């Protein structure tokens, strides 16, 4: 559920992120779930296919707007 919450937070703010791209701002993703952050940082493996698909969608969205280096 945490990964899905991050996905929807990015989707809801996509326009704002694209505007920030021009200003070269850093966007920090926060979560109170240690496992979610470790999965986003690729420190732990994602076991479930559904979570892997959500993770891939997050990476794909952020790749399109070129705003992240790591989480």
- The answer to whether residue 2 scores a pLDDT higher than 80 is yes
pTM above 0.85, yes or no: no
Q: Examine the pLDDT at 20 and tell me if it is beyond 80.
A: no
Count how many residues are written for the chain. Answer: 71
Q: Please report which confidence band the pLDDT of residue 40 belongs to, taking 50, 70 and 90 as the band edges.
A: confident
Query: What is the token pair recorded at 16?
Result: 């704002």
- Other beta carbons less than 10 A from residue 70's beta carbon: 7
User: For the chain, what is the mean pLDDT?
Assistant: 80
pLDDT at 49: 92
Q: Report which DSSP code applies to 43.
A: S
Q: Does residue 44 surpass a pLDDT of 60?
A: yes
Q: What is the pLDDT of residue 66?
A: 61
């Amino acid at each position: 559920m945490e990964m899905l919450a991050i996905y929807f937070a990015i989707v809801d703010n996509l326009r704002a992120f694209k505007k920030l791209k021009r200003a070269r701002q850093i966007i920090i993703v926060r979560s109170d779930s240690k496992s979610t952050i470790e999965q986003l940082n690729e420190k732990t493996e994602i076991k479930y296919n559904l979570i892997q698909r959500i993770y891939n969608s997050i990476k794909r969205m952020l790749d399109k707007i070129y705003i992240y280096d790591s989480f």
